[in-house]
Structure 1
Amino acid sequence: MRQADELRERSLSTHAERAVLVAVEFTGERRQVPYVAARARASAAIDAAATGVPVEPAVPVADLDFEAALEEFRELARSAGAEIASVMIQRRQKPDPALLVGQGKAEEIVAMAESTGAELVLFDHDLSPSQLRNLEKLLPCRVIDRTQLILDIFARHARTREGQLQVELAQLEYQLPRLAGRGKAMSQLGGGIGTRGPGETKLETDRRRIRVRIDHVKGQLEQVRRIRRQQRQRREGVPVPVVALVGYTNAGKSTLFNALTEAGVLESSRMFATLDPKLRQLALPSRRKVLLSDTVGFIRNLPHTLVTSFRATLEEVERAEILLHVRDASSPMLDEQKTQVEKVLGELDAGRKPVIEVMNKADLLDEAQRNDLWHHAGKGDLVTVSAKTGEGLERLITLIDERIGGEGAADPTETAEFRIPQKQGAALAAIEAGAFIEKKRFEGNLVYLRARGPASLLGRYRRFQLEPAS
């Protein structure tokens, strides 16, 4: 299965479309300062206090923030299969209502697209329907905004029928308000970046058909949700706590998932390599079993249609006992990425769940950076790991065990004494496999046990429990 995924990855990259990237920074709405820039500013202040000489940070804060966002945009383009022909940047106070960028910059983009033979222009910003129409009239190639680019990457990586339905629903809801005047781009049928998905059905020419299709896809997704609910009800009949991996895209969630479960799911440096949820069992030191869930990564300005469409997939996050917030400790945008993930978790009503912050990619950090991480912990626990080298994984597993079975947890550890007939072999085997046996003796055809283990397991065999002495 993993080999098939890798072959698919390579096949999707055989034709790279030449693209001009356009990044716009609106200086009137600066983003939150990332922690690296803040640390640079704090370091400069300390030096100034020690020497009495003002010292400026080597990299301006806003520029560092913008450069990190620009590199993320480049990676999005590469993940969609684009060959970057040129990058154009504009800084302006606020968006132009007609073109997003100014008229002069729009003419520069036209000239650049013509000179490089670009097949599309990618904007690192959402375009209104009117801006999209105006830009398409000017440019000699297709125009794709940030949301459509992310939707296209999702379409490339959807493996299951459920994932494909969720992507199609998000694409249809994106297209509906953008039908008028979409001559060049909407006439393409599966011909490149931004055109994959429902295009071959020509839904773009008829709003009514799109609405009918949206209703149909929603109905199919509701069937998927029903099946998922039935599967969850069966699981809840034999309660197993769920631990969900969440985090920013490309934080290393799939690598960590493989390191903990040996599942062999696809690991890729490309964004959104994991789209369909994965569930695997993980045995903890207490012999407790939990289900580990790998989920789709989040990103800044994640299209709301995607959060809505993927709610069925993200139900595992909503129902999880504990969230492992996997963070790329080497990222220059560590704090901003944390904010974006927490924003999406809030939309899923999962913002108050117990969290273990997993600072991944520790192998890329020096000692000073490792020490600095503790200043960026949230309200939950924090553990530093490297899913690549295995560093810190034992501590992480122990911490999961403590939080699942500790005082006030959903499935605490208990001690109970049992008297079980030997003919009840299934009950004996289950208790001995899932709990620690502190004492065991045979009396006739009866087995007396004192076991310490998960309350959910011991409670299943309450009929065999001995009443405690009064």
Structure 2
Amino acid sequence: MGGDRIKRRALLILRKDNKFDNKSIEELKELAEVLYNPIKTVVQIRKPDPKYQIGSGLVEKLAEKIKEEDIEIVIVGNILTPSQKYNLAKKFKVEVIDKIELVLRIFYKHARTKEAQLQVRLAELQYELPRAREKVRLAKMGEQPGFGGYGDYEVEKYYQKVKREIATIKRKLEKVREHRRIARKSREKFDSVGLIGYTNAGKTSLLNALTGESKESKNQVFTTLTTTTRAIKGIKRKILVTDTVGFIDDLPPFMIEAFLSTIEESADSDLILIVVDASDDIEEIKRKLKVNHEILSKINCKSPIITVFNKVDKITEEKKKRILEELDRYIVNPIFVSAKYNINIDLLIEKIIDNLNLSIGTIETNNPKLISYLYENTEIIEDILDEDKHIITFRAKEKDVNRILKLHKIIA
């Protein structure tokens, strides 16, 4: 994979069925730059070639280029079958990987916790499983870059080994999810806000702006793989915000499944903030919003939504108008902010409080335990001392307000 300082020289190839889409190659380049040094990018418009994915004429030309330019790895922005990968590696004489393998390698780089490492391994094995038999067969035909280590296996034995490891990791992750569910239960008395968004939209910067924290925020994809939960700063009520892994479009179902527990952590919130990079072009914003809504739908998320257009410092008033008019059907409850320059963050916090469907209750009491409980677990709007009694107006979740009022009647 190369060290952090000297990155391997990479050639990027993308095959498109019809028209050239500059954004797709830009995304591939952005992904590749996390680990490699992209020297050259090539896009071909054609139907997929069964042998190479790209056309055989282009393969011959690129084989020369790879030698001339001292390319060390080829990254194909399409999903390759094992035989396509094998055939390209044979022609190019260097390692060949596809977009999914690239994403998995980036995940490995950023997987710092045991859970994240398990999730990445699960995604890798689920990518491997349907390819396992073919990979072993190809490895036995002769060594190619990227096919080392499989030749010693019997085809069926390797396939069963992958299946067993998948089952083991799923069991381990289920235990982690159970711990999460218990942890979520203990936090149920607090309101929760989940940050969902395309990778690099600025979710981590927004978490920092809302909570006053300084979690690592890099202009790099997939910096966040594990969930981070923090409380919003400067308000009486305790509202917890959770940030998790960012999405990319055409994320395969097995990857969503592998990272389900971290995505669920956000999606299970009382309120979802879909964070969007407002500086992207309109079509790009539309594409990313669709991805966000599709993934929320896949994990059956029913929580209310605020669409947060981040990086407002980079756009004009005219662009704002166009976003609201042209993307109306994809936008729920919009607000424009800049996490970096703290623009409209206070307005966003107000909007969050308004959208959490909080109820207000009033209690007259002199019970010190109840007064203490209200101060610790609700937002106190007003506390008037009348002779020896407190008349407290408080705000909390509707079910909690009803429960507290009922409890007060019992102990009054």
TM-score of the superposition, structure 1-length normalised?
0.78
Superposition pairs for residues 15-94 of structure 1, below 5 Å? 15-27=6-18, 62-63=19-20, 66-79=21-34, 81-92=35-46, 94=47
Q: How far apart in 2 are the matches of 1:267 and 1:88? A: 31
Q: How many residues align?
A: 394
Deviation at 1:185, TM superposition (A): 4.2
Q: How far apart in 1 are the matches of 2:147 and 2:78? A: 23
Q: Deviations over 1:399-448 (max 9, x none)?
A: 1110103xxxxxx22122231334666336436x72112532242xxx33
Unaligned runs of 5+ in 2: none
Paired position in structure 1 for 2:238: 289
Paired position in structure 1 for 2:299: 348
Residue type of the alignment partner of 1:184: Q
Deviation at 1:372, TM superposition (A): 1.7
Paired position in structure 1 for 2:102: 149
Superposition pairs for residues 20-419 of structure 1, below 5 Å? 20-27=11-18, 62-63=19-20, 66-79=21-34, 81-92=35-46, 94-178=47-131, 179-180=135-136, 181-182=138-139, 183-186=143-146, 206-236=158-188, 239-282=189-232, 285=235, 287-332=236-281, 333-350=284-301, 352-375=302-325, 376-377=327-328, 378-405=330-357, 412-419=358-365
Q: Deviations over 1:340-363 (max 9, x none)?
A: 22222221112x432111111111
Residue type of the alignment partner of 1:440: L
Secondary structure of residue in 1 paired with 2:249 = coil
Residue type of the alignment partner of 1:227: H
Indicate if the aligned counterparts of 1:284 and 1:398 stay in contact, CA closer than 8 A: no
Deviation at 1:459, TM superposition (A): 4.7
Q: Deviations over 1:314-339 (max 9, x none)?
A: 12233112110100011121111111
Q: How far apart in 1 are the matches of 2:72 and 2:355? A: 52
Residue type of the alignment partner of 1:255: S
The equivalent position to 2:4 in structure 1, one of 13, 22, 25, is 13
Do the aligned partners of residues 115 and 388 (structure 1) sit closer, same or farther apart at CA in structure 2, a change above 3 Å counting? same
Q: How far apart in 2 are the matches of 1:72 and 1:138? A: 26
Do the aligned partners of residues 423 and 147 (structure 1) sit closer, same or farther apart at CA in structure 2, a change above 3 Å counting? closer
Secondary structure of residue in 1 paired with 2:239 = strand
Deviation at 1:235, TM superposition (A): 2.1
Secondary structure of residue in 2 paired with 1:24 = strand
Do the aligned partners of residues 124 and 87 (structure 1) sit closer, same or farther apart at CA in structure 2, a change above 3 Å counting? same
Q: How far apart in 1 are the matches of 2:23 and 2:341? A: 26
Secondary structure of residue in 1 paired with 2:339 = coil
Q: Deviations over 1:297-327 (max 9, x none)?
A: 1111112221011111112233112110100
Indicate if the aligned counterparts of 2:359 and 2:401 stay in contact, CA closer than 8 A: no
Residue type of the alignment partner of 1:439: I
Secondary structure of residue in 2 paired with 1:302 = coil
Deviation at 1:233, TM superposition (A): 2.1
Deviation at 1:137, TM superposition (A): 2.1
Secondary structure of residue in 2 paired with 1:73 = helix
Q: How far apart in 2 are the matches of 1:389 and 1:12? A: 34
Q: Which has the higher contact order (CA 8 A, sep 6+)?
A: 1
Q: How far apart in 1 are the matches of 2:369 and 2:105? A: 58
Deviation at 1:163, TM superposition (A): 0.4
Indicate if the aligned counterparts of 1:257 and 1:294 stay in contact, CA closer than 8 A: yes
Unaligned runs of 5+ in 1: 1-10, 28-61, 190-198, 406-411
Q: Deviations over 1:353-387 (max 9, x none)?
A: 32111111111112321222212243510000111
- Backbone CA RMSD of aligned residues: 2.5
Q: Deviations over 1:173-219 (max 9, x none)?
A: 11223323244344568xxxxxxxxx9xx999822222221121111
Q: How far apart in 1 are the matches of 2:190 and 2:313? A: 33
Indicate if the aligned counterparts of 1:76 and 1:271 stay in contact, CA closer than 8 A: yes
Deviation at 1:460, TM superposition (A): 5.5
Secondary structure of residue in 1 paired with 2:193 = strand
Seq. identity, %: 29
Paired position in structure 2 for 1:453: 395
Matched, 1:440 2:385: yes
